Amino acid sequence: MASLTTSRALAPIGTAGKLFAFGLDVGRGLFRRPFQLREFLQQAWFIASVTIVPTALVAIPFGAVIALQVGGLIKQFGAQSFTGSAAVLAVVREAGPIATSLLIAGAGGSAIAADLGARKIREELDAMMVLGIDPIQRLVVPRVLACMLVAVFLNGLVSVVGVIGGYVFNVVLQDGTPGAYLASFTALAQLPDLWQGMAKALVFGLIAAIVACYKGMNAGGGPKGVGDAVNESVVITFMLLFVVNFVMSAIYMQLVPPKTG
């Protein structure tokens, strides 16, 4: 009985270990030739097509909310001239990667998990292995790379759309002056902020794709198993991404000193 409880309590660690091992397999698959360029392009296009519009639509209110919050706060401090810089900082540093992670996990990851899960229960993956083809190399690696690429682009999209959204909101609704908003653009934000946003997006894409592929490829028990796999992959990805986001932000804060003057 005791061993049963222990084994049940330790089960999540086993899952985490398997996920990590899967990640290593994918890492090894990255360098195996031939590279599946066609699959990579198809997947990149597919993931982009399911995420671009929702990302843009999420980015606008995201930018507006930040402008609203920061604008109000900054008015209380009497530093309206820095509204623009604060909004840029918030969007580029945090909102961009967070919105990207939500969309990559919610739209891209769920699509990947559903696709691979359906292939798994239809025995397509088995058939592929039997035909002497490694599904990790043939299917997973292109998806992971595609997801990472698209995540970086999405991050850029969120940054641009978010900043524009904040600008419009600030100028039109909050009576901010366009000049002040634009002039203070670079007062606080700096170039490394952009790099860390992109680095985060890259890592988020990687994690989302690996979790989605792992869950999809291990779906079992008929059509219901596919649904469960999609659900679990989204939930796990969200949790991982928020934790990783925190860790990466903390490291970044330590490494790059805030801009002064």
Partner 1 sequence: MGVDIRVEELSKSFGKQLIWGDVTLTIPAGEVSVMLGPSGTGKSVFLKTLIGLLKPDKGSVIIEGTDIASCSEKDLYEIRKLFGVLFQDGAMFGSMNLFDNVAFPLREHTKKGESEIRNIVMEKMDLVGLIGAEDKLPGEISGGMRKRAGLARALVLDPEILLIDEPDSGLDPVRTSFINQLFIDLNAQIDATFLIVTHDINSTRTVPDNIGLLYHKHLAMFGPREMLLSSEEPVVRQFLNAQTVGPIGMSEEKDADELAAEKDIEMPPLPPIPLQLEPSNGIPRRSQRPAGEWCRTNGITPPPGSFESSNAGLTPGS
Instruction: Return residues touching partner 1 (CB under 8 A).
Output: 118-119, 122-124, 126-134, 138
One-letter amino acid for residue 133 of the chain: I
User: Toward partner 1, which CB reaches closer, 36 or 83?
Assistant: 36
User: Toward partner 1, which CB reaches closer, 126 or 178?
Assistant: 126
Smallest separation (angstroms) from partner 1 to the CB of 19: 19
Smallest separation (angstroms) from partner 1 to the CB of 25: 10
**How far apart are the C-alpha atoms of 211 and 39, rounded to whole Å?**
19
**How far apart are the C-alpha atoms of 35 and 18, rounded to whole Å?**
25
Closest CA to 248 of 208, 207, 196: 196
User: Toward partner 1, which CB reaches closer, 7 or 186?
Assistant: 7
What tokens does 125 get?
Answer: 């993956």
User: Toward partner 1, which CB reaches closer, 98 or 125?
Assistant: 125
Smallest separation (angstroms) from partner 1 to the CB of 133: 5
Closest CA to 89 of 167, 189, 170, 160: 189
Burial class (CB in 10 A: 0-12, 13-18, 19+), 208: buried
User: Toward partner 1, which CB reaches closer, 128 or 180?
Assistant: 128
Evaluate the CA torsion angle 152, 49, 101, 164 in order and state its sign: positive
What tokens does 36 get?
Answer: 């599946």
Smallest separation (angstroms) from partner 1 to the CB of 219: 15
Smallest separation (angstroms) from partner 1 to the CB of 2: 17
**How far apart are the C-alpha atoms of 259 and 255, rounded to whole Å?**
12
**How far apart are the C-alpha atoms of 169 and 68, rounded to whole Å?**
8
Smallest separation (angstroms) from partner 1 to the CB of 122: 6
User: Toward partner 1, which CB reaches closer, 178 or 220?
Assistant: 220
